[in-house]
Amino acid sequence: MSTQNQKVAIVTGASQGIGAALVEGYRKLGYAVVATSRTIAPVDDAGVVTVQGDIADPATAERVVAAAVERFGRIDAVVNNAGVFVAKPFTDYTAEDYAAVTGINVAGFFHLTQQAVPHLLAQGGGHIVSVTTSLVDAADSRVPSVLASLTKGGLQSATKSLAIEYATRGIRVNAVSPGTIKTPMHPAETHDFLAALHPVGRMGEVGDIVDAVLFLETAPFVTGEILHVDGGMSAGH
């Protein structure tokens, strides 16, 4: 099956939470979607292809891009949503923690984005958007998170670098920098503590991040932007 005019988005970390909601959001925007995660199951929607795999593995990126091109004939957007967060004191991080966090947060972004860019260029342009964290800009002693800052901070810098590199070739590159969002990642018993980290006094909702990503998707004059959706965390405490 090939579509000549329907735009196509790739969404990583798409089996639950923000990723699953992003798949729905892009479908409502009229896009076909290739959705990937380690545990994602097939769905009953001809406009969605699911690909199981660890995004830290370059072979997964190859299969995801191949699925998009084979099924839909094009790629227009890449949403680097997959991420892992491990909050520990710096000296408590293990080699396994380091490998897992850098593998998903950095290698996953790098391999998929690099393989998708030629297909975006073939369409005359497109959009790359990554989900980071406001802890990059507003470190908090209550949430020790060096590996998040190391990896997601790298994504924010890469976002700006790629935006400038491809600014004249039609590819826009942005990031959404969330506060703590109410997803299955956070047990209910932690919600009061997490809500208090935000100046507005509550956690964010999945829809807040989806709305931000889709705004950037449809904002042709916005590139190199780090859009904070964090209840004021990055502004201060």
In the chain, the amino acid numbered 204 is G
Q: Is the pLDDT of residue 3 over 90?
A: no
Backbone angles phi, psi at 75, to 5 degrees: -140, 130
b (16+ CB within 10 A) / e for 200-222:
eeebbebebbbebbbebbeeeee
Q: How many domains does the chain have?
A: 1
pLDDT tens per residue across span 6-49? 999 999 999 999 999 999 999 999 999 999 999 999 999 999 99
Residue 2 in any domain: the answer is no
Q: List the domain range (segments joined by +) for residue 138.
A: 8-232
Quick: pLDDT tens for 51-91: 999 999 999 999 999 999 999 999 999 999 999 999 999 99
Distance CA 225, CA 165 (A): 14
C-alpha pair distances (Å), 224 with each of 134, 220, 231: 16, 12, 21
Q: Which helix (H) or strand (E) holds 117?
A: helix 108-122
In a domain, 169, yes or no: yes
What amino acid occupies position 134? S
Q: Region 80-109: what's the mean pLDDT?
A: 97
Do residues 36 and 10 make contact, with C-beta atoms less than 8 angstroms apart? yes
Confidence grade of residue 4 (pLDDT, cut at 50, 70, 90): low
pLDDT (average), residues 118-146:
95
The answer to the question of residue 209 being in a domain is yes
| Residue 38 to residue 59: CA distance in whole angstroms | 13
Q: Is residue 68 part of a domain?
A: yes
Residue 175 lies in a domain: yes
Question: Within a domain: residue 86?
Answer: yes
- Distance, CA of 195 to CA of 85 (rounded, Å): 17
What strands, in cross-sheet order, belong to the sheet with 48-52? 48-52, 32-37, 8-12, 77-80, 126-131, 171-178, 226-229
Burial class (CB in 10 A: 0-12, 13-18, 19+), 192: exposed
Per-residue pLDDT at 185 exceeds 90: no
- Is the pLDDT score of 2 beyond 50? no
Statement: residue 1 has pLDDT above 60? no
Q: Please report the pLDDT score of residue 125 as a whole number.
A: 97
Any domain includes 187: yes
By the 10 Å C-beta count (0-12 exposed, 13-18 middle, 19+ buried), 229 is classed as buried
Of 38, 20, 11, 10, the residue nearest 181 (C-alpha)? 20
Mean pLDDT, the chain, rounded, equals 96
Residues 134-147: tens digit of each pLDDT: 999 999 999 999 99
Q: Going by C-beta distance under 8 Å and a sequence separation of 6 or more, which residues neighbour residue 54?
A: 38, 60, 103, 104
**Encoding tokens for residue 225?**
């932007």
Residue 68 maps to which CATH number? 3.40.50.720
